[in-house]
Structure 1
């Protein structure tokens, strides 16, 4: 089963049940993954189009718009885009073959999606192609050191890391059967492999940050296309 087909099957659950829980947190002032400060810090205020690759249901569009950017989205899943269309302009497309002119956008955002993309190095190369010289790519994703089939998050104060981190792999193993990964699986890449993907795309690494908590769930990177 491809990631696109998997997300088509769970699109309604993802929008109403999974994201419903995140919206409830947000409405009460919560940010379970700590992505808001990471987005403000790394993307920051700006103007012009910000292309979100793997935009899903458009959940993050309001955050991007609040920073002054004009969010645009691409995703492979028609089911997810059905929920996104009222939140931002979207196109159904493979992130490895973006329907965007080379050198045309000042910012690209990859938000919590790299584990859904087996060809993420190729996605980064394509993102670098469509960025303007001097444009930035902001990656905010699950932390490769602490999230994956090898990590048990049953106790957030004492996450258990089992063997498996060092090997690149795809898995549906998860400490919980209530999340996305148990339904659609995830690609794991160790930290050095992930970071090398930015360099191999010709991007210059510029800034790094991690999510909050005793064990950070999120790793964020800002990289820039040479001007």
Structure 2
């Protein structure tokens, strides 16, 4: 049983699929970065399937994987799902046009391995969209009780896992969260062989969400800049 199995019913009632507002800009980032398209879009850590409808509105077919049977019990009516670890997807190499990870990287201590697996299953030219908690302004080191004056304590620079939270109404105090400082998180994308294309932030006045779109570009098709070219 995973930590999310124990809170699946609470999550289902607390984070409905039909919210009209988007205070953190999650939906806006997904629409902007994933964009319209066709074919399957695999959502890693799909949870209860709250983002399936948004993916469909873009013309794509949502599929979901998650390790929590409790969460998938709610998701099954919203999209096709499979219980699987995102570091070992039961999906053929190079078979998907799109993969998304939406507000889940802090639930995945092995996120660099997840990114490598996402790159493996993407077709050449396929896109990967990450919409996640902003590592600079959210974590056990951040007190967001006053959005006008967020307090950042020591701890940002260390990779960590914690249940410490400024609120008891969220997820971290219930299931914990992994923190990766921004350089480590971005380097993991590059190390997976993905190429950044676009970025977005969401939430105000201080961002809560950091998102990006990256593409699976075959190594032979990547543009390389020599030191001489860079200095020209």
For the superposition of Structure 1 and Structure 2, which TM-score range results when normalised by the shorter chain? Answer: over 0.9
Distance 1:152 1:215 in 2: 12
Distance 1:180 1:32 in 2: 17
Q: Choose the corresponding residue for 2:23, options 9, 15, 32.
A: 32
Show the 5 A alignment for 1:190-205.
190-205=181-196
Q: List gaps (5 residues or longer) in structure 1.
A: none
Q: Choose the corresponding residue for 1:10, options 7, 12, 20.
A: 7
Displacement of 1:177: 1.1
Displacement of 1:212: 3.4
Rg: which structure is higher? 2
SS in 1 for 2:167: coil
Please give the TM-score of this superposition, normalised by the length of structure 2.
0.92
Please give the TM-score of this superposition, normalised by the length of structure 1.
0.94
Residues 162-199 of structure 1, C-alpha deviations (whole Å, 9 max, x = no match): 11100000000000111111000000000000000001
> Aligned pair count?
218
Runs (4+) of structure 1 moved beyond 6 Å? none
Show the 5 A alignment for 1:21-100.
23=18, 26=19, 29-100=20-91
Displacement of 1:94: 0.2
Aligned twin of 2:226: none
Distance 2:10 2:32 in 1: 31
Q: List gaps (5 residues or longer) in structure 2.
A: 219-232
Q: Contact (CA 8 Å) 2:23, 2:203: kept in 1 or not?
A: no
Q: Contact (CA 8 Å) 2:22, 2:28: kept in 1 or not?
A: no
Q: Choose the corresponding residue for 2:15, options 15, 19, 33.
A: 19
Distance 2:90 2:69 in 1: 16
* Greater Cα shift, 200-209 or 48-57: 200-209
Q: Choose the corresponding residue for 1:101, options 73, 83, 92.
A: 92
Q: What do you get for the CA RMSD once the two structures are aligned?
A: 1.1
Aligned twin of 1:189: 180
